[in-house]
Amino acid sequence: MMKFYYVYMLRCRDGTFYTGITNNVDVRVDQHNAGIKPDSYTYSRRPVTLAFVQEFMDPVQAIAFEKRLKKWSKAKKEALIKGDFDLIQILAECRNATHSKYKTD
């Protein structure tokens, strides 16, 4: 039997996002909403709703994707949820003056 891993993003009551990884999305969302761990990020931000989920067969890829998502800005996460891949690309571009695209010499 093939095992799947899911990287998920929850939208919290306060508008923030929580990103995690699981092998059962429905159970995990229920656990977040049940408030099993009082010291968890989502405990005081309930209820939470599932905003995004991506399926993986390789746990290493799932873990790498989860780590990447956790570093993304809120705007970039919103674009992913909406499926706006053009906006993700725009938001991903380096905009500081030292970037090679902006050098004049």
Backbone phi and psi for residue 43, each to the nearest 5 degrees, phi listed first: -55, -50
Within this chain, do residues 8 and 42 fall inside the same structural domain, yes or no?
yes
Within this chain, do residues 86 and 104 fall inside the same structural domain, yes or no?
yes
HSE toward the beta carbon, residue 29, CA cutoff 13 A: 18
Write down the pTM of the prediction: 0.85
Within this chain, do residues 34 and 65 fall inside the same structural domain, yes or no?
yes
pLDDT score of 99 more than 60: no
Tens digits of per-residue pLDDT, 24-77?
A: 999 999 999 999 999 999 999 999 999 999 999 999 999 999 999 999 999 999
Range of the domain at 87: 73-105
Within this chain, do residues 99 and 78 fall inside the same structural domain, yes or no?
yes
Within this chain, do residues 51 and 98 fall inside the same structural domain, yes or no?
no
Measured distance CA(37)–CA(43) in Å, rounded: 7
